[in-house]
Amino acid sequence: MTRRHFDKRFAELVAQIPEDEYDVGKLFELFRTYSASVAPDYGIEYIYIQMLAPGPDHSSMQQSLASDIYRSGYPGECDEKMYHFSIGNGGYADVYVGVRKGVVWTPEQQQDITTFIKTQYLFNGRVEAMRQLDRVMFTDQITHVLNQAGLYKSMGAKMASGGLAGYCSNFINIRNMKLFNEKYTEQGGNALLMGFAQRIARYIGDDGAFARLGGDNFLALIESSREEALISFLGNLWVDLTDRSGSTTKVKMEVRAGYYHAGPGDQVSDVMNNASIALQFARRDVNEPIKEFHNNMKTQFFRIKQLEENVPAALGREEFVVYYQPKADISDREHFVLCGAEALVRWMQDGNLIPPMQFIPALEKNGLVAQLDFYVLEHVCRNIKAWKEAGLQPVPVSVNFSRRHLKNENIVENIMAVVNRYGIEPSLLEIEITESYDIDDMDVLSRFERKMHEYGIKVAVDDFGSGFSSIRLIKNIVTDTIKLDKSIVDGIGEDREDDIIISHIIHMVRALGKEVLAEGVEKTEQADFLRENDCNTIQGYLYAKPMPREAFEESLKNRS
């Protein structure tokens, strides 16, 4: 035999592999077949290859690949020959060949077998290179789980072997990853990502698939029968983080997730997109961070996407309308007194009034909420100026601002530019920051409030009690007013223990020198309880619903 004959025989075998099934594993198995077809002609009973590469410091060698290429199963004794090849990067490969005792090669056979063994070594190195390329192409380099391409490959294989019915896809997002990176540095954040990913990957095992899609987003595919257990696992997931000194910190990894149970006929895009849509709804729900996909979500999702696309033009056409919900001083049981208002936004589109819950969350996500907040501020300042010019005495009006604004270093100056443009007193404005969004940096919020105070504008924290950081929020920031969320107010009178808790919250806030306003007050009994517990400012349907500017002007006239 000659090398040309070896190459021809191998090429014939390679040609037998269908193009769509060509991968490293099949190629390597084919090479075993090739070796088995050649070795008996030379009395070869086994071939073993060990490739070694330099260690990180080049002072030692580390094994990078060991392959048992061929074993005939012959029970007799063999003479072992070793062929040594330099890899070229300081490493080397040793090929161990067992030859049946008594077999003697002619010089021509010796030359042929040397060519054959060298072919073994060269091809084995190529397979290893392909394996490394496979890892790069299909594995996330930070977490060492599948990347998006690897996920598609894995799910594609499941599709080919029977489909995805019986599986459940989970689109998972880590909460507060930005905070982790700031607290533990990017290196520590990456360590958390890896620990998080490896724990879930081990939990899912080989029957499913788990991949990092980028950033802090992951997708898990698991058998539907295990979905409930996975949700429980995600709800109590801790990762050990070890610093340079060797000390370990346990970090709670909170997630938001959307999941979808695949059915017959579902494609890879279906199970990924539907889980992603469910995640979008989970992001907006503080009380239910893990949601199952339902078909009506898709309708809502595409409607929201359409609304998002229409927002810039709607702002230009001033389709957004500012409503005012009055606030009342209830210290006198018989006579509620108008003492302020909150500016609320509605979208008048083609004669239909769209409520804020249908577009605000989407604007929060894509950043357009910042434009809308300043749009409302502009209209409020313009109206206050008009009321004063008409001889009316305005009450302070609060304007909602997203926490996204806190990332803007010039936010205070931008607010004051609008206020100064209309020449209104800063004391007639209050900025409300919503607590329910993730609290990334308490210092930033506190600095914002202090700068607002320097200009005479008060700051309130909205939706107190709807999030998870309320006590820490009260302790650390210098806000003027805490607004009790409607979810807290609704519990008044329902349970004695709840009443005790609400009473203590109010007294704690007042003891810290802050004002308390209760929103969502709809019953006289609620107002009586609040008054008795030193909360004398309310907002809700018991006093007044949100109303257009013209109706609110009438309230100001009646007050005058």
Phi, psi of 449 (to 5 degrees): -65, -40
The dihedral region occupied by 334, where left means phi > 0, alpha psi between -120 and 50, and beta the remainder, is alpha
Q: Are strands 320-329 and 167-174 parallel, antiparallel or unpaired?
A: unpaired
The dihedral region occupied by 303, where left means phi > 0, alpha psi between -120 and 50, and beta the remainder, is alpha
Are the C-beta atoms of 171 and 279 separated by less than 8 Å?
A: yes
The 8-class DSSP code of residue 216 comes to T
The reported pLDDT for the residue numbered 531 is 93
Distance CA 492, CA 540 (A): 14
Phi, psi of 170 (to 5 degrees): -125, 115
Residues facing 401 on adjacent strands:
433
Distance CA 533, CA 501 (A): 12
302-559 CATH pick, 3.40.50.300, 3.40.720.10, 3.10.20.30, 3.20.20.450: 3.20.20.450
Based on its alpha-carbon atoms, the radius of gyration of the chain, rounded to whole angstroms, reads 34
CB atoms closer than 10 angstroms to residue 143: 21
Of the candidates 257, 254, 256, 255, the residue with the CA atom closest to the CA atom of residue 274: 257
Are the C-beta atoms of 506 and 533 separated by less than 8 Å?
A: yes
Of the candidates 419, 490, 480, the residue with the CA atom closest to the CA atom of residue 448: 480
The angle formed by the CA atoms of residues 128, 132 and 133, to the nearest 5 degrees, is 115
Domain ranges of the chain: 3-138, 148-293, 302-559
Question: Can you give the pLDDT of all 560 residues of the chain as single tens digits?
Answer: 444 455 565 556 556 655 444 455 666 677 777 788 888 888 999 988 887 766 655 555 566 667 788 899 888 899 998 888 776 666 777 889 999 998 988 888 888 888 777 776 666 666 665 566 566 678 888 898 999 988 988 898 888 888 899 999 999 999 888 878 878 888 888 999 999 999 999 999 988 999 999 899 999 999 999 999 999 999 999 998 887 777 888 889 999 999 999 999 899 999 999 999 999 888 877 678 999 999 889 888 887 777 777 777 888 888 899 999 999 999 988 889 999 999 999 988 877 888 787 778 767 766 778 889 999 999 999 999 999 999 999 999 999 998 878 878 899 999 999 999 999 999 999 999 865 444 445 677 788 888 999 999 998 877 665 544 455 556 665 678 888 888 888 888 887 877 888 898 888 888 888 889 999 999 999 999 999 999 999 999 999 999 999 999 999 998 75
Are the C-beta atoms of 334 and 314 separated by less than 8 Å?
A: no
The reported pLDDT for the residue numbered 299 is 84
Q: Which helix (H) or strand (E) covers residue 3, if one does?
A: helix 3-14
Phi, psi of 307 (to 5 degrees): -60, -45
CATH number of 148-293: 3.30.70.270
Half-sphere exposure of 560 (CA within 13 A, CB side): 14
3-138 CATH pick, 1.10.3430, 2.60.40, 1.10.10, 3.30.450: 3.30.450
Burial class (CB in 10 A: 0-12, 13-18, 19+), 277: buried
The 8-class DSSP code of residue 485 comes to P
